[in-house]
Amino acid sequence: MLLSEIRDRTRDVLQVDSSTYSDSRIDRAVQMVFNRAILRVPRLTQASATATVAADNPEVDISGFQSFRRERFLGAEIAYSDQGTWTVSTAYTKNQLVTGDGSPDSLFYRCTADHTSSANDEPGNTGDWQSYWQQVAWKGGWQLSKVAYHTIALRLNGEPQIERVQYDSNSISFVNTARSEKIGFKDNDTAYLYPVPDSAYTLRVFYTEPLLLKNGAGAVQSWTIGGVTEGTYSPNIDDEYIDPLITHGVAPLCEQPFAGRDGGSGDILPALDQWLNELRGLVAPSAGVVEKDENCYL
């Protein structure tokens, strides 16, 4: 919802026009209410970004993640590329995902070693297929371009050993390489994975952003109270939550002495906080593309 639409919606709820409540007054209420909401329900501004992980290298460059701060980390996952239906005479690389061609089955399979496919190694069939493929127990009709095979354990402040992984390119054979299960952050620009990745893949990191104004292309606009150009930008909160925030917080706050001066009055803020506590249980805690316990489908 555009900021200009939020202003109009607030006036609709209050049944007033712009001469009664200016853009500036509404913006101040919006900022206070939305920031309060983010503090209590961080996932309201959940964002994600991807980085390329290299084989045999625990260090991942995340400097391009917009507004990322390691204290706002929510979770991470490894995404494997879905190659569609398995075909013969095709070059497959480790950790790609295929669906069986229906003979003998149409289950999901993960490639465990680089190879060019042949009839002798068709996944699920007779022959030497288990040298190249691992069957995934759950197919579930996933219609996704990427499927989350594994959710990295949430390790940040509680696992300092992740940051202490000693990596030496000259002695990589002595480093434990496998599918990564832990993540740590040296700073806001560099992540470390452990065990050291045994192959290249895409890492998706989920985190919560501060309150921002963005346009459709993801560009960020500084928020000037009552600004004109800002009205063409949207707060980084999903529309499904914005309208209730207007009804439960923004509109009532506009009718009170502005909270920036005296902390608000009446029961507006306590009532908003009570509603936010209820909202916290409604916002899905999952950060993954597909949420399933690993033991269910690996």
Tell me how far apart the alpha carbons of residues 154 and 131 are, in angstroms, rounded to a whole number: 31
The pLDDT value recorded for residue 258 is 55
The pLDDT value recorded for residue 27 is 95
Domains of the chain from N-terminus onward: 3-44+210-280 (no CATH), 47-80+147-209+287-297 (no CATH), 82-144 (2.10.10.90)
The pLDDT value recorded for residue 130 is 93
Q: Collapsing DSSP states into helix, strand and coil, what is residue 259?
A: helix
Q: CA separation (Å) from 179 to 7, 78, 168, 289?
A: 48, 9, 19, 18
Residue with tokens 């390790």: 155
Residue with tokens 């996704």: 144
Tell me how far apart the alpha carbons of residues 228 and 172 are, in angstroms, rounded to a whole number: 56
DSSP code at position 181: -
Alpha carbon 213 to its chain centroid, in Å, reads 18
Inter-residue contact 10 to 246 (CB < 8 Å): yes
The pLDDT value recorded for residue 152 is 45
Residue 5's Cβ-count burial label (10 Å; 0-12, 13-18, 19+) is middle
Tokens, residue 188: 């806001």
The pLDDT value recorded for residue 189 is 93
- pLDDT by residue for the chain (298 residues), tens only, comes to 999 999 999 999 999 988 889 999 999 999 999 999 998 888 899 888 889 888 888 889 999 998 999 888 887 877 667 788 999 999 998 878 888 888 888 877 888 889 999 999 999 898 889 999 988 754 444 433 344 434 343 333 334 344 334 455 554 455 677 777 778 887 899 888 877 888 787 788 889 999 999 998 888 999 999 999 999 999 999 998 999 999 989 999 888 765 444 454 556 778 888 888 888 777 755 443 332 333 222 2
The pLDDT value recorded for residue 108 is 78
Tell me how far apart the alpha carbons of residues 216 and 29 are, in angstroms, rounded to a whole number: 24
Strand partners, 221: 213
Tell me how far apart the alpha carbons of residues 168 and 208 are, in angstroms, rounded to a whole number: 33
H or E segment and range at residue 202: strand 201-208
Q: CA separation (Å) from 96 to 2, 122, 124, 148, 199?
A: 40, 14, 16, 12, 11
The pLDDT value recorded for residue 257 is 61
The pLDDT value recorded for residue 168 is 53
Inter-residue contact 223 to 213 (CB < 8 Å): yes
Residue with tokens 């494997």: 80
